[in-house]
Amino acid sequence: CARPSSSKPVDLNTHITSELSKLAATYKSKNDTWRSVGYERAIAAIRNYSKEITSREEALAIPGIGGRLADKIAEILESGRLRKVAEVCEGEEAETLRLFLGVWGAGPSTAQAWYLQDFRTLDDLRTKATLTRHQQIGLKHYDDINSRIPRSEVAEIEEHVREATLSLVRGAEVLVCGSYRRGKPTCGDVDVLITHPDGQSHELIFRPLLVRLRESGFLTDDLVTQEDNGNQKKYLGVCRLPGEGRKHRRLDVIVVPYQERATALMYFTGSAHFNRSMRLLATKKGMSLSEHSLRAGIVRQGGEKLSDGYMLDTPTEESIFAHLGLEYRPPEERDH
Ligand code: DCP
Ligand code: MG
Ligand code: MN
């Protein structure tokens, strides 16, 4: 939940939330949104609780935790684990769905459909399933895409993209966001934000950069090239550094106008959960936050926007926190 850094609670209940997270993830993979969202809310409530939970009664007193969840917490407190995790998260169906969800471009309903068609292995998918173009790429690079990227390699990829960008347009700014900027030891992909301080030259970067990186063999597969997200452009693909023994890595690039750099930076740094909290908080304050801008004076009536309000000046991330009445939180503290 969005809150000032000074009051950020230390998570003393990871033994509880880690068990509940397994349930939330498995229900999500089974397309049981109702249950997975229920567990995710409970996890958020427990994370916001600043003390170690020591009894069923204490759990029950936390807003958002009901009787059945308190029972589960009590079981974890007594035995260190939850029998329901074994029941729900282990076994052929759950394991196959996890395997299939690792195919880029496959969501819970696709994974489930494949399971119902009696596919059980990646080879089954390769030989028998009807795959979208994205899923074919996801399957081709399955092992590489599903292995974590060390920070040092993310930095090499950043440097590679920076050199290519600067050779096209001098003075461009290139920065890796996502889990890397949040300080994670390894990353799932590389999220590169590009902008230009002159406010205009960013428009010259997107296509030529992709052409250059494709020609050099660095980009190996294109997933999505989206040129129409307002003034921002977004590319999703697969890349590989030159040299022997390199893995294929997922690469996301956004090119944004300088005016939108702080809101785009904050969005692209995440986490996704943090972004949802910040947007929710903005909405509660009659504002609206997106990767493009922060607006104030929004008038809503029953979910409908009556007034679009006006744009606030957001030259830095600090200014966004300030407009929202929050103390600044550095990227390392934006996981939730
Ligand atoms: N993002 C978001 N909502 C989503 C997906 C992404 O707000 N549904 C934002 C927040 C993410 C950022 O984009 O932090 C980058 O997305 P990634 O999927 O690359 O996520 P991370 O970089 O945070 O983690 P990972 O290490 O898995 O890449
Ligand atoms: Mg990422
Ligand atoms: Mn990404």
Ligand 2 centre and the CA of 187: distance in Å? 6
**Residues 210-227 pLDDT 10s:** 999 999 999 999 999 988
Take atom 28 of ligand 1 and give the residue whose Cα is closest.
Answer: 188
Take atom 24 of ligand 1 and give the residue whose Cα is closest.
Answer: 179
156's enclosing H/E stretch is helix 151-168
Angle separating helix axes 108-116 and 14-29, nearest 10 degrees: 60
Specify the pTM. 0.88
Residue 4 has pLDDT above 90, yes or no: no
Q: Is the dihedral of CA 147, 153, 155, 160 positive or negative?
A: negative
**Residues 62-98 pLDDT 10s:** 998 999 999 999 999 999 999 999 888 999 999 999 9
The per-residue pLDDT of the chain, averaged, comes to 94
- Residues involved in catalysis: 72
191, amino acid identity:
D
**pLDDT band per the 50, 70, 90 thresholds, residue 305:** confident
Report the pLDDT averaged over residues 113-134. 97
Ligand 3 centre and the CA of 123: distance in Å? 27
| pLDDT value at residue 10 | 66
Percent above pLDDT 90 for the chain: 88
Take atom 4 of ligand 1 and give the residue whose Cα is closest.
Answer: 272
Query: How would you classify residue 49: left for phi > 0, otherwise alpha for psi between -120 and 50, otherwise beta?
Result: beta
Q: Which value does ipTM take for this structure?
A: 0.99
